A = this chain, B = another copy of it.
């Protein structure tokens, strides 16, 4: 009886959100929250080989269910910008392609991108690429038709925390449109903010290459928060939380598009004292996840 198990990681944006829309770089990391898809062949049935080259997600699901007992487990919180849908697409693509042969990561990533496209309209391709390859991903949209992604040659594992500051009322699309509108009224100001965000994203690179200290990085994360606030994508609720986290010795910022009227989604937090931060989250009755950055990509066993 054939069993397959596929596991794909979630991802977080470390630096560069919003700026990335305007051609500035973003740094993304796979995290050790994973989605697992298990297939157990139905012993009573003879498995038919999948035939389509560019199947839809629906086709793959139907095909898998017809031939296998399918089980999906995920510890990637949904709707929090952590790439849960990409992890699913990457897992589906890996399952399907591995039944047709031995797929390369490029094959998997290409099909997962197709699946993402049919569900999300116009995704950047960052999420599926991060989930497929894992590690740290450098991303730049040099042009509408030229989204450059580069796997960093870095194996550093970095501990951090994710804290749910509350589901934003606005969608990612809303937030991007909001920044675009504000930027139109004051392009000079926004250019300065984005330039500074780029410099922070490059501080991350310097940290990855062991050229600056952790202290320098954490200062950069705090500055990143201030710049995101200046963009208007951090709600008063999330701002207050981040101020408290800074007060107890941490560095924090939103990760993703943010939100301005209620919650701002997940916060990315760095703090040397796990216990202190855990107590803080408990007191606030907020869900917190200790995570490790630089997690490996999709695994097929």
Partner-B contacts on A (CB < 8 A)? 23, 25, 138, 140, 142-146, 148, 150, 152, 202, 205-206, 209
- Closest Cβ of chain B to A198, distance in Å, is 9
Q: Which chain B positions have C-beta within 8 A of A148?
A: 138, 148, 150
Within the oligomer, what is the number of copies of this chain? 2
Chain B residue nearest in CB terms to A148: B150
Chain B residue nearest in CB terms to A202: B143
Q: Which chain B positions have C-beta within 8 A of A152?
A: 146
- Whether A209 contacts B142 by the Cβ 8 Å rule is no
Taking A23-B202, A143-B206, A146-B205 as known contacts, 7 extra A-B pairs with beta carbons closer than 8 A to each other, sorted by chain A number, are A138-B146, A142-B202, A143-B202, A143-B205, A143-B209, A146-B150, A148-B148
A201–B79 alpha-carbon span in the complex (Å): 37
A142–B143 alpha-carbon span in the complex (Å): 17
Q: Which chain B positions have C-beta within 8 A of A23?
A: 202
- Whether B142 contacts A205 by the Cβ 8 Å rule is yes
- Closest Cβ of chain B to A20, distance in Å, is 14
- Whether A145 contacts B209 by the Cβ 8 Å rule is yes
- Closest Cβ of chain B to A187, distance in Å, is 12
A144–B150 alpha-carbon span in the complex (Å): 15
- Whether A142 contacts B206 by the Cβ 8 Å rule is no
- Closest Cβ of chain B to A217, distance in Å, is 14
Chain B residue nearest in CB terms to A152: B146
Q: Which chain B positions have C-beta within 8 A of A142?
A: 25, 138, 202, 205
- Closest Cβ of chain B to A211, distance in Å, is 8
| Pairs A–B under 8 Å by Cβ, sample size 5 | A138-B142, A140-B140, A142-B205, A143-B209, A148-B150
Q: Which chain B positions have C-beta within 8 A of A209?
A: 143-145
Chain B residue nearest in CB terms to A205: B143
- List 8 A-B pairs, minimum CB-CB distance, nearest first: A143-B205, A145-B209, A148-B150, A146-B205, A143-B202, A138-B142, A142-B205, A148-B148
Q: Which chain B positions have C-beta within 8 A of A138?
A: 142, 146, 148
A202–B23 alpha-carbon span in the complex (Å): 10
A146–B205 alpha-carbon span in the complex (Å): 9
- Closest Cβ of chain B to A224, distance in Å, is 18
- Closest Cβ of chain B to A108, distance in Å, is 20
A145–B206 alpha-carbon span in the complex (Å): 9
Q: Which chain B positions have C-beta within 8 A of A145?
A: 209
A286–B68 alpha-carbon span in the complex (Å): 74
A205–B142 alpha-carbon span in the complex (Å): 9
